[in-house]
Amino acid sequence: MEFSTNPEHSFYDVVIIGGATSGAAVAWFLSNNPDFDGRVLVVEKDSSFKQSATIASNNCMRQQFATEINVKIAQYAAEFVKNFRENLGGDPKVPNIPIRNFGYLYLADNEEFANILREDQQLQTSCGAGTKIMTREEIASAYPFYNLDDIVAGSLNIVDEGAFDALLMVEWLRQKAWENGVHFIENEVVTMDSSGNSINSITLKTGEVITVGKVVNAAGNRAAQVSRMAGVDLPIEPRRRYTYIFSAENHLEQDLPLTIDPTGVHMRSFGEHDYLVGCPPIEGDPAVAFDDFGYPEAVWEEKILPVIQNRIPQFKSVKVTDSWVGHYEFNTFDHNAIIGPHTEIANLFFCNGFSGHGSQQAPACGRGVAELLIYGEFRTLDLSALSYARLANNAPLIERAVI
């Protein structure tokens, strides 16, 4: 499919601002629901996604969260991608998307953090997740390549935890939504016209004025910028994340779990014999400009390389083969997604603030937003804990398991 520039109509029942992971998910679930027959327009600023979180996704899948709703969202994501073809209608052209289940392993270097992992494991187990708490000796037995001198315990789940092809999922959600009649354009919303408690129309950069029924903000890192057009402040900002791919002269004989080191560096298997490693900035985690994808720090030399060589002595000789900088759409309020309608502007809906978890949370959240648009309520998984109302009521739902 190709994005056109101009809309076909002057009125749409639903306009989705942002056509990457979240926008594509909302569009597909909306268009695939037999109870909905309205017009849908998706406005995407850059159809190449060069400046979106989607293109820089590390394609991760995990259930090790500290809030029940996020565990349930992740469990749906795993089911959705493993049965992707069936979930998208059985078209033989649509692939299933396997999860490479090397698992997530959180390492604790003190009892305080180990107790947090134990508390979170009890929550995850109550939701049916396969998380296990491991002693240092158990970790060493399962993964003998680690240096564990400073480690007291770990938390591991190898059931539906690892990596998947998130970009492939987005491409097919978009393709199938387009086949269902959703209009996709490469353009930009520059203003919104409101009266009372409703948005009446949007104006595109090319000058067209579109009358709207409902508006969905799925603009990722630009979500706050989009919402300000409606007079709404969102606590969302771009945060820089570094990713490197490296090969090792002496590669491991087994998969490397996505290992979250106590330093904040995380690493995992990537291809057959290479590895992905990532981390936040060296000092602090400041907001950055939307188009800032530079490397202002010597993060590989100063932060990443010392950690991987200490944690896995076998990685004494490594070589960087690729790298990129991506952005989290970071929710500074409580690190959780914001899903559903504004408390005062009745036809403004949010699908934002995933704080690095958007690829795996988009299926459940896209389905939930579509249900709200059609029925005015959640029909499957209740996502009301992630509603905008918690911001209005200053009642954060903190997700502490953010890498």
Q: What is the pLDDT of residue 51?
A: 67
Determine what percent of the chain is predicted with pLDDT higher than 70. Answer: 100
Do 244 and 203 form a contact (C-beta atoms < 8 A)? Answer: no
Pairs from 74-77 (Cβ < 8 Å, separation ≥ 24): 74/160, 74/360, 74/361, 75/127, 75/128, 75/129, 75/160, 76/363, 76/364, 76/367, 76/381, 77/360, 77/361, 77/362, 77/363, 77/364
Q: Is the pTM of this model over 0.85?
A: yes
Mean pLDDT of 139-161: 98
Q: How far apart are CA 380 and CA 33, in angstroms?
A: 13
Handedness of CA 370, 371, 374, 377 (dihedral sign): negative
243-296 pLDDT, tens digit each: 999 999 999 999 999 999 999 999 999 999 999 999 999 988 999 998 898 998
Mean pLDDT of 151-171: 96
Amino acid letter for position 214: K
Confidence of residue 57 (pLDDT cuts 50, 70, 90): confident
Do 84 and 239 form a contact (C-beta atoms < 8 A)? Answer: no
pLDDT exceeds cutoff 70 at 354: yes
pLDDT exceeds cutoff 70 at 200: yes
Q: What is the pLDDT of residue 21?
A: 94
pLDDT exceeds cutoff 70 at 41: yes
pLDDT exceeds cutoff 80 at 54: no
Q: What is the pLDDT of residue 281?
A: 93
Pairs from 229-234 (Cβ < 8 Å, separation ≥ 24): 229/189, 229/190, 229/191, 229/192, 230/192, 230/194, 230/199, 230/342, 230/345, 230/348, 231/194, 231/345, 232/342, 232/345, 232/348, 234/338, 234/350, 234/352, 234/353
Confidence of residue 65 (pLDDT cuts 50, 70, 90): very high
Amino acid letter for position 165: D
Q: What is the pLDDT of residue 56?
A: 75
Q: How far apart are CA 89 and CA 294, in angstroms?
A: 41
Kindly provide the b/e burial profile for residues 49-59, where b requires at least 16 CB atoms within 10 angstroms of the residue's own CB: bebbbbbbbbb
Q: What is the pLDDT of residue 284?
A: 87
363-401 pLDDT, tens digit each: 999 999 999 999 999 999 999 999 999 999 999 999 998
Confidence of residue 188 (pLDDT cuts 50, 70, 90): very high
Confidence of residue 196 (pLDDT cuts 50, 70, 90): confident
Mean pLDDT of 231-244: 96
Helix, strand or coil, per DSSP, at residue 136: helix
Q: How far apart are CA 182 and CA 175, in angstroms?
A: 9
Q: What is the pLDDT of residue 400?
A: 92
Computed over every residue of the chain, the mean pLDDT equals: 95
Choice among 139-143, 287-291, 314-318 with the minimum mean pLDDT = 287-291
C-alpha distances (whole Å) from 133 to each of 41, 70, 148, 296 are 47, 19, 15, 38
Q: How far apart are the first and last CA of the chain?
A: 34
Q: What is the pLDDT of residue 275?
A: 98
70-127 pLDDT, tens digit each: 999 999 999 999 999 999 999 999 999 999 999 999 999 999 999 999 999 999 999 9
Determine what percent of the chain is predicted with pLDDT higher than 90. Answer: 91
